[in-house]
Structure 1
Amino acid sequence: MDASDIAKPHDRLAAWLAEDMDAVNSLIQTRMASRHAPRIPEVTRHLVDAGGKRLRPMLTLAAAHMCGYTGPYHIHLAATVEFIHTATLLHDDVVDESAQRRGRPTANLLWDNKSSVLVGDYLFSRSFQLMTETGNMDVLRILSDASATIAEGEVLQMTAAQDLATDEDVYLQVVRGKTAALFSAATEVGGVIAGADKAVVRALFDYGDALGIAFQIVDDLLDYQGQSAATGKNVGDDFRERKLTLPVIKAVAKADAEERAFWSRTIEKGHQEEGDLDHALSLLHKHDTLEATRLDAIAWADKAKQALAAAPAHALRDMLIDLADYVVERIN
């Protein structure tokens, strides 16, 4: 089937990049092997086999192709990006004490926290081995900076997520760290390995950054209005885990004294009772913060599309533009 006949942009991208993704998956399987510690491929395979859209590695492949790259190292970089992403998921599930990821039990639940943390460390190490094989210092700088930014974002979230003083600027800093940093690195290194000029590389970075922010805002919005079967999460998980995400940050900014006391009790102090989630939802609706959050997500998706105006004309560029719309489609 021709890629243009497929309805969803993500699936069109997957069809166009199918041969490359097969090579990426093969490289992932090879590099997640361990002769001495069979627990490593067991844990990794559980997460890799759970599916997921493999969006980040496809962004790297698409950026490289769009910029005319024909060498082998976009495969290494795509696998690197997926390893970094998988490592962060393993660590996140331990930090969040999550029991479910993509509709399946998490690795820390099936094995234990120690296994998840140590296998995540192994995958980070593997990602650095892969990126050094490209012999490109700019690639090393971008991906190592992204890894540090991701870790920084997670630590910032840990301290900011339960503090009612957290505003939209801090939220954006967290999102840029924990989500957008890997999106922007994924697209940027695709352009860098292809030897694209600085303006194109910057456009690819800006696209990934805005797409990642839109992606995370949508994720945070769906936590309050999505369907568990579709999202792989339980509605209200962020509330139960006392995470201050954008819909709540907007509601806190508009809260009267009584409402602020409610948010302080449930989020800051963690004293949650039956019916609190319903009350939280009623406050979000009262202040229309779900709609305001939706509009923010759409605005970031629009920024992503605008950034690609500086990228080379290509069928993949059109798919990436459509992908930005697709990311926010779930909330329209």
Structure 2
Amino acid sequence: MSWLEQLGMAAFRQMDAEAAHGLALKALNSGLTRLPGQISSPRLRTTLAGFSLPNPVGLAAGMDKNAVALHALSRSGFGFLEVGATTPRPQPGNPKPRLFRLREDRAAINRFGFNNEGMEAMATRLSTRPADAVIGLNLGANKDSVDRSADFATVLGSCGPMLDFATVNVSSPNTENLRDLQGKAALEALLCGVLDVRGGLERRIPIFLKIAPDLDEGEVADIAAVAAKVQIDGIIATNTTLDRVGLRSANAREAGGLSGAPLFEKSTAVLARLARETGGAIPLVGVGGVASGEQAYAKIRAGASAVQIYTALVYGGISLVETIVRDLDRLLERDGFGSVKDAVGADL
């Protein structure tokens, strides 16, 4: 981490968490931060649901909700980016404060509630996206929608032509009853609606499903069965958790979804269970608590074809991306793997 990044991180830590988040995106866009550009190697190059990645470390949805820093983020070392979540109509989200640092736990709690500028603003920004990056969009539903299932398809219809992939997000804990859409019948109907819209796009893009970590074995099995039946292109495991076991920080009792270090073991267990249920037939993306090359490697060995990070950047800064990617490359070399693909599911 450069002295300039250290100075900025120290300043951000003294600010309200959400205000610091916004300033961090502006700092990225300013050009003052050293960015490594694309990082790759023969071992790191891989594919995910049919598209090529320079490396398997991606940015999770939520950091750049409105795609305001795509060009800077595409030069930050990530193998791919996911922006959003985006809903058909703009919405303010839940009342502030709604983002809380848990420093002692290297974690965060958010209850944003899909605050975003809506699909029209997102489509406009995506129209000037960097052409050499892999960019996906997290699809969401408006809180007051009369048909939340239809909202996901609506956003895809608007933004799909500018995307490399899209993610159906039914796992946020911050929109009331949204997680009910993870039930077998509701999920199948929702995904079929999204896939129908995908069929009308000029270019076929992969559709992913993002699931919660707070699922039992039966629920994971149901999701795997639905994913196989409708032929979804991938599953992202997992979103934030409602669990609060073992936390030490003063903000631990705040309502919302918990992300960061405490989520690592739980999300990795769900990932491994899902890998066993799907038998490797559906690509998986591991997210939740990744803050090092070793943890990214553990997700891959548990069945992930790629990983995503977000909360770790709050504590490690944007330079953490390069550290994770290069450490992952060294770990693959150490264990004799010629590629990421060779290591996927090695611990199962």
TM-score (norm 1): 0.30
Structure with higher Rg: it is: 1
Whose helix proportion is higher, 1 or 2?
A: 1
TM-score (norm 2): 0.29
